[in-house]
Structure 1
Amino acid sequence: MNYIDGFRDIFKSIGLFPSILIIGGYAFCLVLMLLILYYIFYNIIK
Structure 2
Amino acid sequence: MGQRVLEVGTGTEYNAALLAWLTGEPQRMVTMEVVPDLAAQARQAL
> Structure 2 length normalisation: TM-score?
0.32
In terms of Rg, which structure is larger? 1
Whichever structure has more helix as a proportion of its residues is 1
Higher relative contact order (CA 8 A, sep 6+): 2
Whichever structure has more strand as a proportion of its residues is 2
